[in-house]
């Protein structure tokens, strides 16, 4: 084992390995890809930088990429989401990993930098939220004397730029060289995908990107059914609060909002939804939720969860109106959904890791989860393995597509073809005992599809 890693405690590796072994039994998509491609090693030569929550499920993804021939280096994409035993198991397997639960922002960007340090240089990125892509592209622009990429928050912006300047001083020209060597990026989440489309629109995306989030077997499963299990898990582990009977406000009714509202409602909470999009608002209402504005309910609700991927959704004026011991958390990608920075000069009492009590000027206290960072990964262990298997099977297929056929793609943002999306779903049916019906030729002709699929046109919305 090399010592090219930073983890909390390498002695946790055995525990990590035991949980990894269990996770493998719940990740049939990834295990099927190992069986199908393990011998051919289609990712041989790929040097993949991974920037994605360093959990047990991600460990199974990493070992799948390695089994398919890739060299991999890994950092987490969030300061609170690492599972230290998973990181230890990966380090012990010889894969360089740089991730500690509760790392500082400075460490976060230093660890991301380290994950790029292949002796021969990185040539692929696997991203979640776009930090690895941003690091290279913003760095290359700063090297060239331009500096015009949007970054998440002002506090973070300073830290990112300091890390970029450090690398520029140590290795002049490194960013441009790395940017030119990257064959492509596969992006996991809605927020990262927004960044990629934005970069492409501005003519600032120099390589092809695969939007994994918008595979149906990703966003309609991980974002929805994943949050349905992991949101309440996070709130319970953080607070042990009784969910039944409480009034919970879910801000946003996209895929994550739908799963989050279902999670809270399944636990017996009375759920209220806020939305800006009339289609999603109508969906929420017809799913049985009250839909109103945050201002209407802010003084009376017990639990507040942002799911929008937007910024400044819960603002300081809202938090000032909340009742004593209201619980406030976010399950979207970045912490700027809640104006946490505006609470900095209030009295904070740390209850335990990733749980703080904050005293407001009127004497009311708020319970803030994971300092406003995504609470299902900060306060619990994220989504279960089975749903992550679907997401990560898409990730591996995207990496293979970009590595093997990257030259056929112009810079831009692409989604995987529908037959691969259907393949990902198919790989997960046996594990839960699903039997598919079969179309005969006449039926297939009648509805205009092939008997083997794809079964839906591109515009179908599921
Ligand atoms: P989405 O685009 O499907 O849904 C977001 C919804 O929020 C939209 O319907 C939008 O109209 C609404 N919205 C925007 N601004 C709003 C405002 N000010 N008030 C009320 N509603 C507002 O996006 P999706 O896929 O649901 O993702 C949401 C966020 O969650 C993203 O940041 C994504 O990266 C993240 N995510 C987090 C996961 C986790 O495990 N914590 C898993 C998957 C995604």
CATH number for the domain that contains residue 338: 3.40.50.720
- Residue 298 falls within a domain, yes or no? yes
Quote the crossing angle between the two packed helices 13-25 and 56-67, to the nearest 10°: 80
Ligand 1 atom with least separation from CA of 375: 41
Whether ligand 1 lies within 6 angstroms of the CB of 57 is answered as no
Sorted by sequence, the CB contacts under 8 Å of residue 323 that are 6+ apart come out as: 299, 300, 301, 302, 364
User: Percentage of the chain surpassing pLDDT 70?
Assistant: 100
Same domain, 327 and 393: no
> How far away, in angstroms, is 307 Cα from ligand 1 center?
5
Q: Which ipTM was obtained for this model? A: 0.99
Same domain, 52 and 103: yes
Q: What is the pLDDT of residue 461?
A: 96
- Residue 14 falls within a domain, yes or no? yes
Q: What is the pLDDT of residue 140?
A: 97
- Residue 435 falls within a domain, yes or no? no
- Residue 305 falls within a domain, yes or no? yes
* CA 174 from centroid of its chain's CA atoms: 27
Same domain, 235 and 318: yes
Q: What is the pLDDT of residue 278?
A: 98
DSSP structure class, residue 410: P
At 276-285, the pLDDT tens digits run 999 999 999 9
Same domain, 134 and 197: yes
At 178-188, the pLDDT tens digits run 999 999 999 99
Same domain, 242 and 374: yes
Q: Which of 190, 217, 280 to mutate to test the pocket of ligand 1 (most atoms within 8 A of CB)?
A: 190
Whether ligand 1 lies within 6 angstroms of the CB of 274 is answered as yes
At 375-414, the pLDDT tens digits run 999 999 999 999 999 999 999 999 999 999 999 999 999 9
Closest Cα to atom 31 of ligand 1:
309
Same domain, 151 and 249: no
> How far away, in angstroms, is 284 Cα from ligand 1 center?
14
* CA 343 from centroid of its chain's CA atoms: 26
Whether the pLDDT of residue 338 is over 80: the answer is yes
Mean pLDDT across 103-119? 98
* Residue 169 burial class via C-beta count within 10 angstroms: exposed 0-12, middle 13-18, buried 19 and up: exposed
| Top-confidence residue, 151 or 366 | 366
Same domain, 228 and 358: yes
DSSP codes joined into one string, 275-319: -SSHHHHHHHHHTT-EE--HHHHTTT-SEEEE-SS-SSSB-HHHH
337 is in an annotated binding site: no
Burial string for 40-72 (b: 16+ CB within 10 Å, else e) reads eebbeebbbbbbbbbbbbbbbbbbbbbbbbbbb
- Residue 34 falls within a domain, yes or no? yes
Distance from C-alpha of 25 to C-alpha of 398, rounded to nearest angstrom: 23
**Structure tokens belonging to residue 122:** 């990185």
Whether the pLDDT of residue 95 is over 70: the answer is yes
Average pLDDT, the chain: 97
Residue whose tokens read 């831009």: 412
Q: What is the pLDDT of residue 151?
A: 78
Q: Which domain holds residue 339?
A: 224-379
Given its phi and psi angles, is residue 21 left (phi above 0), alpha (psi -120 to 50 degrees) or beta? Answer: alpha
At 414-442, the pLDDT tens digits run 999 999 999 999 999 999 999 999 999 99
- Residue 447 falls within a domain, yes or no? no
- Residue 5 falls within a domain, yes or no? no
Closest Cα to atom 14 of ligand 1:
308
Mean pLDDT across 314-334? 98
- Residue 200 falls within a domain, yes or no? yes
18 is in an annotated binding site: no
Count CB atoms within 10 A of the CB of residue 341.
14
Domain final residue, candidates 421, 436, 451: 421
Same domain, 243 and 287: yes
Ligand 1 atom with least separation from CA of 256: 26
Entry pTM: 0.98
The CATH number of the domain where 83 resides is what? 3.40.50.1480
CA distances 139 to 75, 165, 208, Å, are: 18, 8, 18
Whether the pLDDT of residue 150 is over 90: the answer is no
pLDDT band, residue 152 (cuts 50/70/90): confident
Same domain, 14 and 142: yes
Same domain, 387 and 375: no
The number of distinct structural domains making up the chain is 2
Sign of CA dihedral 229, 232, 235, 236: negative
Same domain, 294 and 403: no
User: Percentage of the chain surpassing pLDDT 90?
Assistant: 97
At 190-248, the pLDDT tens digits run 999 999 999 999 999 999 999 999 999 999 999 999 999 999 999 999 999 999 999 99
**Structure tokens belonging to residue 3:** 């010592």
Strand partners, 348: 358
Distance from C-alpha of 332 to C-alpha of 252, rounded to nearest angstrom: 10
Residue whose tokens read 């991730």: 99
Q: What is the pLDDT of residue 2?
A: 75
Same domain, 395 and 353: no
Mean pLDDT across 271-296? 98
DSSP structure class, residue 167: H
128 is in an annotated binding site: yes
Q: What is the pLDDT of residue 1?
A: 60
* CA 353 from centroid of its chain's CA atoms: 21
pLDDT band, residue 149 (cuts 50/70/90): confident
Q: Is the link from the previous residue into 454 a cis peptide, with omega within 30 of 0?
A: yes
């Amino acid at each position: 084992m090399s010592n090219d890693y930073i983890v909390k405690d390498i002695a946790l590796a055995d525990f990590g390995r035991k949980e990894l072994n269990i996770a493998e039994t719940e990740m049939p998509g990834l295990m099927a890809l190992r069986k199908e491609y393990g011998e051919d090693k289609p990712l041989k030569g790929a040097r993949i930088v991974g920037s994605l929550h360093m959990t047990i499920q991600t460990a199974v993804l990493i070992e799948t990429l390695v089994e398919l021939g890739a060299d991999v280096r890994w950092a987490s994409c969030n300061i609170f989401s690492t599972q230290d035993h998973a990181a230890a198991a990966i380090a012990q397997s010889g894969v360089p990993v740089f991730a500690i639960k509760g790392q500082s922002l400075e460490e976060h960007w230093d660890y991301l930098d380290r994950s790029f340090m292949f002796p021969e240089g990185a040539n692929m990125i696997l991203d979640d939220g776009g930090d690895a892509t941003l690091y290279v592209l913003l760095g290359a622009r700063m090297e060239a004397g331009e500096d015009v990429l949007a970054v998440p928050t002002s506090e973070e912006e300073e830290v990112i730029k300091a890390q970029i300047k450090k690398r520029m001083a140590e290795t002049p020209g490194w960013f441009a060289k790395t940017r030119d060597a990257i064959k492509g990026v596969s992006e996991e989440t809605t927020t990262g995908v927004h960044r990629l489309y934005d970069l492409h629109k501005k003519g600032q995306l120099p390589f092809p990107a695969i939007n994994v989030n918008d595979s149906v077997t990703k966003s309609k499963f991980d974002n929805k059914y994943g949050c349905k299990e992991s949101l309440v898990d996070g709130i319970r582990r953080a607070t042990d609060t009784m969910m039944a009977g409480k009034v919970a406000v879910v801000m946003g009714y996209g895929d994550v909002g739908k799963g989050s509202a279902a999670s809270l409602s399944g636990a017996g909470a009375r759920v209220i939804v806020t939305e800006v999009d009339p289609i999603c608002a109508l969906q929420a209402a017809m799913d049985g939720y009250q839909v109103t504005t945050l201002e209407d309910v802010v003084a009376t609700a017990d639990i507040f969860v942002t799911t929008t991927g937007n910024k400044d959704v819960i603002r300081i004026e809202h938090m000032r109106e909340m009742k004593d011991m209201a619980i406030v958390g976010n399950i979207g990608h970045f912490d700027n959904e809640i104006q946490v920075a505006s609470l900095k000069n209030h009295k904070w009492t740390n209850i335990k890791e990733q749980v703080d009590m904050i005293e407001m000027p009127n004497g009311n206290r708020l319970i803030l989860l994971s300092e406003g960072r995504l609470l299902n990964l900060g306060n619990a262990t994220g989504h279960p393995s089975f749903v992550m298997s679907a997401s990560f099977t898409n990730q591996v297929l995207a990496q293979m597509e970009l590595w093997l056929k990257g030259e056929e793609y112009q810079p831009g943002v692409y989604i995987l073809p529908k037959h691969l999306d259907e393949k990902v779903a198919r790989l997960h049916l046996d594990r839960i005992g699903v039997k598919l019906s079969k179309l005969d030729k006449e039926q297939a002709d009648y509805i205009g599809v092939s008997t083997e699929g794809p079964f839906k046109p591109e515009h179908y919305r599921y």
